[in-house]
Amino acid sequence: MNVKGFRRGVWMSSIALFGITLPTFLVGQTQIQFDAFYTCPGGTRFKVFSCAGNEPGSSCDVQTFSGTRSLSRGPAPRGQVMGFVRTCHLQTAAEEKAVSARGAAQAESSSNGINVGDSVEVLTGFGWTPAKVLAIQGNDYKVNANGVQVIKTYPSEVRRVGAANARDHAAGQYRLHDRVQVNVGGQWMDGTIVLENGMDYQVQFGNRTVWAGPKDLRPSSTPAPAATAKTTGPPQPGMTSCAGKIEGRYVTTGAGSATIIFRSGKATMGNGFGGEDTLECWVARDKIILREPGHPEKEMPIDINNDGTLQVPIYGEFKKKGN
């Protein structure tokens, strides 16, 4: 039957969604028992909450279930509901106990170690955003993110706060600065994640970087090599400090509220969610490089467009909005 879970919220337009087609008619003296579970052939369950009248065409408020999972809720003609009341039966106490036990087992096995009430991060158009778990159904998580309730799916849209564990790695989740092995042309190379975009990761190994997805990544136990390059001075020949050359506040022109404030050779990046980093800033003609102080291996290249806007990896275009 073509019914989605609560993740899609599809409204039911006819009780025929049960997969059984019945004519619309009032069946004998059968009465509807409101707010009680009915079990139908195939295991689908439903509840009738109310009916607007006693005529076959009167609208009834009906919700369907698969196990403990809500499927859809909406109006259906009383005549059709009466047909299903006749075809199905009131759920017994033993059936209810069995359904509850299956639901509890499913929740335990598919919670991914994330529970109701936990703080998590969910993927939005603005990147990974703090949220709190309100409900769980399998890998679907109902969360409150900045006052908005949404449904997000693990692992592509939900991750636990803090370091990824073995279960997350198996699902393809990693974190910024994780040590990993990346498959480059069939050879596994040790590296460090330096940028992330959802479940795509930029890995740096030596002087090279490569973007890779979960199928080309695996955890590495090899520690990061000690930095041997100098930690001061320009990252490339011909580059000089941004001081006096790139100054002011730049804001992304796309979705979100990410900012970069250039001041006296430093760049402070804000992601719009309260987090920010202060980086060294170097410039040469049409190129800027931001670098984490003391870590020459952690650099972000930025292109200067012909119109003076900046092209920043992942975030897109930034435009100057103030001094």
User: Residue 310: which of 261, 237, 264 has the closest Cα?
Assistant: 261
How high is the mean pLDDT of the chain?
81
pLDDT-wise least confident of 175-189, 193-207, 270-284: 270-284
In this prediction, residue 34 has a pLDDT band, given cuts at 50, 70 and 90, of very high
| 211 and 200 Cβ atoms separated by less than 8 Å | yes
- The neighbouring-strand residues paired with 320 are 250
Encode 246-276: b = buried (16+ Cβ within 10 Å), e = exposed.
beebbbbeeebebbbbbbebbbebbbbbeee
226 band by pLDDT with thresholds 50, 70 and 90: low
State the pLDDT at residue 163. 92
Mean pLDDT over 227-238 rounds to 70
pLDDT at 243: 92
147-163 pLDDT, tens digit per residue, is 999 999 999 999 999 99
Domain with CATH 2.40.128 in the chain: 240-322
Give the pLDDT mean for 253-271: 83
Instruction: For residues 70 and 76, give the distance between their C-alpha atoms in angstroms, rounded to a whole number.
Output: 17
CATH ID of 174-225, from 1.10.600.10, 2.30.30.140, 3.10.129.10, 3.30.565.10 = 2.30.30.140
Domain 240-322 classification at class level: mainly beta
- The CATH code belonging to domain 111-162 is 2.30.30.140
| Among 269, 237, 240, 253, CA closest to 309 | 253
Reduced to 3 states (helix: H, G, I; strand: E, B; else coil), residue 74 is strand
Supply the pLDDT for residue 105. Answer: 56
CATH 2.30.30.140 domain range(s) in the chain: 111-162, 174-225
Q: For residue range 106-130, what is the model confidence (pLDDT) as tens digits?
A: 554 456 888 888 999 999 887 889 9
Sign of CA dihedral 64, 70, 72, 75: positive
Decide which of 297 and 115 is more confident. Answer: 115
pTM of the predicted structure, to 2 decimals = 0.43
Asked whether residue 241 carries a pLDDT value surpassing 90, the answer given is yes
**DSSP E strand boundaries for 163-216:** 179-184, 187-197, 200-205, 208-212
Location of structure tokens 């859809």: 72
